[in-house]
Structure 1
Amino acid sequence: MKSSLVILYHRQPYDEVIEDGKVVYRQKKSPNGIVPTLKGFFSYAEKGTWIAWREVDESEKEEFEPRITSDEEETNYTVLRIGLTKEQVKDFYHITSKEAFWPILHSFPYHFTYESSNWENFREVNRLFAEAACNEAADDALIWIHDYNLWLVPHYIRQIKPDARIAFFHHTPFPSVDIFNILPWREEIINSLLSCDVVGFHIPRYSENFVNVARSLLPVEIVERQPVSGHIIPVGTALAEPEMVTKLKYKNQYVKVDAFPVGTNPDFFLSVLNQPETQQRLKELEAEFEGKKLIIAAGRVDYVKGNKEMLEAFGRLLERRPDLHGNIHFIVSCVSPAAGMRVYEEAQSQIEQLVGQINGHFGRLDWTPILLFTQVIPISELLCYYKISDVCWTTPLRDGLNLVAKEYIITHQGENGVLILSEFVGAAVELANAIQTNPYSTDLMDKAIDRALAMSVEEQKERMQKMYEVVTKYDVKYWGDRLLEVFKELSHEVDE
């Protein structure tokens, strides 16, 4: 029996665990809301398939099982893994995706590398995904593709299965036309995305950038445009857009364009926070940091995350505020990159050097200003740090959405706390009551942290209550339900 829903995503929905010498598949422990939400869509399907890639060594080839199911749950879908060699993974993911596409998507063209990219390998991997999807999909199935790693899949699917219903969601930023068009493969990418019935983005600015790129390269017709509404801020911040194109026409086919930011999972986070062992750990941390101001930043090593700018701003804070010495801690969770990601080695070294310089200059035997974590903090522990922190400092130079900001808001439940948020993250157009700042400006970064530390409890509560209402209403379930409605209406519209 063919599948009525086929989801293509680079991550497998399960963790592989070795038990008694055997590989078993367990539900992911990660708090990432995307995977469980996508899995939830299969409940609406008679039968489904999730397609991902997995690196397969030569020694594994004979015993590699492409199709798996979880050992922990009964499901109506299977996971089909496309086995890639170590060299294919390196060229497809670590180099072409991360060294060519990633800097362009985040508007850092000077990090773009062309010579090492392997476009033919990228095509081949995308073609393998497309063939797998078409083999799995029923004639009326919905094929839902996720993110830039699979840009070319819609084109190959349309060649094999002309009447397929194809949706694509772009999880990263989509840059302006002059930045995106640096990519030598730009027309091939856009032509593929225009093979979809629906192309979705987090916010209207990204969808408008996509439309402008398409119009710069191909004879695309705008069919429908609407004002931005709902909880999205239409004007007044760096990524705001007052209106957006919602339908295009290309080669006699209609393409719906939509913008819907991914939400997080408030019920999950609050359930973890309220567990007895988490509450016990929370009390221990409250006692440990009693009487201290706490600032938290959480993310990973990446030049787009603004870690350097944030650490430098904290150093300047300690320079001008000697009264804070011994009375403040900056908790920085900055997870090291996976092995083989050479593009991040310089960023990691820079972070470690800055932390060492600041702690060495200001620290005392009884006080370490910056507490740096480079390994993943367990989710229960991280939520405790969110809860006890007076300020969450989230100022990437560019970020598709940023769920850390929403997670921090959830743990404070509208009671207190201050969120400093970069204008250049997608969530900024949802969270008007954050202290929004420009991380490229030293003066504005300094003013933001000063304002955050001086904010009255009354103002904190007023702002946090408003943001808490936003993140709990427009949560990951809202995002999923909206997509489901779009899919129910989806048909492959073609002018005869």
Structure 2
Amino acid sequence: MDDGGYGNYDFIVVSNRLPVDRVADDDDGEGWRRSPGGLVTALAPVMSSSDGAWVGWHGAPDENVEPFEHEDTFLVPVPLSEEEVEFYYEGFSNATLWPLYHDVIAPPEFHRTWWDSYQAVNRRFAEATAGIAAQGATVWVQDYQLQLVPRLLRQMRPDLLIGFFNHIPFPPVEIFAQLPWRRQVVEGLLGADLVGFQRASDTGNFLRAVRRFTGNNTRQQHVELREDGVRRECRADTFPISIDVARIDELARRPDVLERSRQIRDEVGNRKILLGVDRLDYTKGIGHRIKAYGELLDDGKLQVEDAVLIQVASPSRERVESYRLLRDEIEAAVGRINGTFDTMGSTAVRYLHHSYPTEEMVALYLAADVMLVTALRDGMNLVAKEYVAARTGADGALVLSEFTGASDHLRQAVLVNPHDIDGLKERILQAIAMPKAEAGRRMRAMRRQVLQNDVEHWSQTFLRALRSERG
């Protein structure tokens, strides 16, 4: 802190995790490398061009790590105990808020001990941020794990310009009403000057929750607030996130990635490749697409000698019971289909429970004839946009759930209600049999949308809107 009681950083990002992963270095010690992911990529230019800092957990419980510099960014690790990882993160964030915000596809759990931990951790994040922020600094808080931080931060540092972005859906008020601490969460978000959402429907849901649970008036996108006799406004608006288009496009043209895509096609016998790429999560509709594919084989509409489903399901929250049960369910379904339809030369489903580097993912996108995105509820779904960005030849077909944010923008995809298994089967067959000219027309239109709206455009649009709130 300087002599005026303020910190030194004019732009601060606050997220559950720091933008780095711990790695072994060449001297058998430990170092850090930048994490993959769109958010880190989007904000790297802002960090390097401003006096930037990032506040977040460094990934290991019961460990204190001193703040450190990494690639022009000052990183401030926030410690979490093993119990807080269990209660705040695995508990309230991912077993209460996550299912609640995803239309209660799984039943949310409400435990007061989890809520207490969520409050305590959010306060710790706010205190860490308040301690390093320069006077009048811009702070951008990220996602559902930290919904109380904006209000806490405003109470500590009313001079700050505070933005919040919710990367997941915000539920209809009738669902949000189930949360015992609904008013506190809404008031936490209203501490921001600007609250951003993926879809216009999410923004509308939030504004309805504001009116119902706080009694504050709303005027178009603005919430009128009166705090300690001072009037101010919080604006809620829509800022759909995107991907690092240039990175995907560059990889899709690289000779080694192109060669790898040809190898993948050779490995599966040059059959029609249907591809699913997801984090193993019950919101992604993995079971629905596997069921539809299995029924197409059973109906004789597809033959295992002609088509294969490659399903990449990266590990996720494996300490949470509902995720362990989901993995067992998916693996049992894959086993039943393969046991029924495999031949000596052809496997019906290639199930890959791994995470892969971006280069391998782009090779898979290039190899796939049809991309299946069948999420039951998704704030955006960046896999759909990555597939489109990788299709530099303007070919391939995207089957896309209408319950994803991406469906608002990729209207030329083959849109589907994944709960309708018969409809999903029809859409898969439509995508496989789509004439080349039609597939090209659809893909070119989707590529224009994705190329014009990359992740840097998203971050700059949000930050411009935030700074305009200051006038």
Is TM-score (shorter-chain normalized) higher than 0.5?
yes
Residues 282 and 169 (structure 1), Cα distance of their counterparts in 2 relative to 1, 3 Å cut: same
**Contact preservation (8 Å) 1:145, 1:169:** yes
Instruction: Specify the code of the residue in structure 2 equivalent to 1:205.
Output: S
Identify the residue that residue 9 of structure 1 maps to in structure 2. Answer: 15
For 1:11-62, what per-residue CA distance to the aligned partner results, in whole angstroms no more than 9, with x for missing partners? Answer: 211121122232211223x2x21112123222342x221000135555x5xx
Instruction: Give me the whole-angstrom Cα distance separating, in 2, the residues matched to 1:430 and 1:184.
Output: 34
Instruction: Give me the whole-angstrom Cα distance separating, in 1, the residues matched to 2:298 and 2:46.
Output: 52
How many Å apart are 1:113 and its aligned residue? 0.8
Instruction: Specify the code of the residue in structure 1 equivalent to 2:39.
Output: I
2:57 corresponds to which of 53, 71, 84: 53
Identify the residue that residue 26 of structure 1 maps to in structure 2. Answer: 33
2:207 aligned with 1:214, yes or no? no
For 1:412-443, what per-residue CA distance to the aligned partner results, in whole angstroms no more than 9, with x for missing partners? Answer: 12521110000101111111101111011122
2:255 aligned with 1:248, yes or no? no
Instruction: Give me the whole-angstrom Cα distance separating, in 2, the residues matched to 1:467 and 1:409.
Output: 7
Instruction: Give me the whole-angstrom Cα distance separating, in 2, the residues matched to 1:88 and 1:290.
Output: 49
For 1:173-223, what per-residue CA distance to the aligned partner results, in whole angstroms no more than 9, with x for missing partners? Answer: 001001011110100000111111000011101100101111111222222
Residues 166 and 66 (structure 1), Cα distance of their counterparts in 2 relative to 1, 3 Å cut: same
Residues 257 and 44 (structure 1), Cα distance of their counterparts in 2 relative to 1, 3 Å cut: farther
Identify the residue that residue 66 of structure 1 maps to in structure 2. Answer: 66
Identify the residue that residue 355 of structure 2 maps to in structure 1. Answer: 376
2:172 corresponds to which of 173, 176, 185: 176
Identify the residue that residue 231 of structure 1 maps to in structure 2. Answer: none
Instruction: Give me the whole-angstrom Cα distance separating, in 2, the residues matched to 1:162 and 1:313.
Output: 53
For 1:37-91, what per-residue CA distance to the aligned partner results, in whole angstroms no more than 9, with x for missing partners? Answer: 123222342x221000135555x5xxx4320222xx3x1x300001111111111
Identify the residue that residue 141 of structure 1 maps to in structure 2. Answer: 137
**Contact preservation (8 Å) 1:219, 1:250:** no
Instruction: Give me the whole-angstrom Cα distance separating, in 2, the residues matched to 1:202 and 1:151.
Output: 16
Instruction: Give me the whole-angstrom Cα distance separating, in 2, the residues matched to 1:120 and 1:336.
Output: 28
How many Å apart are 1:115 and its aligned residue? 3.4
Partner SS state of residue 78, structure 2 = strand
Identify the residue that residue 457 of structure 2 maps to in structure 1. Answer: 478
2:86 corresponds to which of 81, 85, 90: 90
How many Å apart are 1:117 and its aligned residue? 5.0
Instruction: Give me the whole-angstrom Cα distance separating, in 2, the residues matched to 1:387 and 1:55.
Output: 33
Instruction: Give me the whole-angstrom Cα distance separating, in 2, the residues matched to 1:386 and 1:167.
Output: 34
1:292 corresponds to which of 253, 259, 271: 271
2:74 aligned with 1:78, yes or no? yes
Residues 117 and 57 (structure 1), Cα distance of their counterparts in 2 relative to 1, 3 Å cut: closer
**Contact preservation (8 Å) 1:174, 1:210:** yes
Segments of structure 2 that go 5 or more residues without pairing to the other structure are 1-6
For 1:437-495, what per-residue CA distance to the aligned partner results, in whole angstroms no more than 9, with x for missing partners? Answer: 10111221122112111210110000000000000001112112212321331318xxx
**Contact preservation (8 Å) 1:145, 1:167:** yes
Instruction: Give me the whole-angstrom Cα distance separating, in 1, the residues matched to 2:238 and 2:15.
Output: 19
2:103 corresponds to which of 101, 104, 107: 107
1:404 corresponds to which of 366, 369, 383: 383
Instruction: Give me the whole-angstrom Cα distance separating, in 2, the residues matched to 1:387 and 1:488.
Output: 40
Identify the residue that residue 229 of structure 1 maps to in structure 2. Answer: none
Task: Please provide the CA RMSD for this pair.
Answer: 1.7
> Equivalent residues in 2 for 1:306-455 (5 A)?
306-321=285-300, 324-413=303-392, 415-455=394-434
- Runs (4+) of structure 1 exceeding 6 A deviation are none
How many Å apart are 1:291 and its aligned residue? 3.9
Instruction: Specify the code of the residue in structure 2 equivalent to 1:489.
Output: S
Identify the residue that residue 153 of structure 2 maps to in structure 1. Answer: 157
Partner SS state of residue 69, structure 1 = strand
Instruction: Specify the code of the residue in structure 2 equivalent to 1:90.
Output: E
How many Å apart are 1:118 and its aligned residue? 1.4
After the TM superposition, which of the residue ranges 279-288 and 471-480 deviates more from structure 2? Answer: 279-288
TM-score by length of 1: 0.89
For 1:81-129, what per-residue CA distance to the aligned partner results, in whole angstroms no more than 9, with x for missing partners? Answer: 0111111111110111111111001011651111375111111100011
2:16 aligned with 1:37, yes or no? no
**Contact preservation (8 Å) 2:249, 2:392:** no
> Equivalent residues in 2 for 1:180-195 (5 A)?
180-195=176-191
Instruction: Give me the whole-angstrom Cα distance separating, in 1, the residues matched to 2:422 and 2:61.
Output: 51
**Contact preservation (8 Å) 1:66, 1:83:** no
Instruction: Give me the whole-angstrom Cα distance separating, in 2, the residues matched to 1:414 and 1:278.
Output: 14
Identify the residue that residue 243 of structure 1 maps to in structure 2. Answer: none
Q: What is the aligned residue count? A: 460
Instruction: Give me the whole-angstrom Cα distance separating, in 1, the residues matched to 2:386 and 2:370.
Output: 13
Partner SS state of residue 78, structure 1 = strand
Instruction: Give me the whole-angstrom Cα distance separating, in 2, the residues matched to 1:57 and 1:37.
Output: 27
* Identical amino acids, percent of aligned pairs: 30
Partner SS state of residue 219, structure 2 = strand
How many Å apart are 1:401 and its aligned residue? 0.3
**Contact preservation (8 Å) 1:296, 1:331:** yes
**Contact preservation (8 Å) 1:396, 1:422:** yes
Residues 406 and 117 (structure 1), Cα distance of their counterparts in 2 relative to 1, 3 Å cut: farther
How many Å apart are 1:270 and its aligned residue? 2.0
**Contact preservation (8 Å) 1:100, 1:117:** no
Instruction: Give me the whole-angstrom Cα distance separating, in 1, the residues matched to 2:232 and 2:74.
Output: 32
For 1:239-276, what per-residue CA distance to the aligned partner results, in whole angstroms no more than 9, with x for missing partners? Answer: xxxxxxx2221223211111011111121012223333
Instruction: Give me the whole-angstrom Cα distance separating, in 1, the residues matched to 2:420 and 2:156.
Output: 50
**Contact preservation (8 Å) 1:37, 1:480:** yes
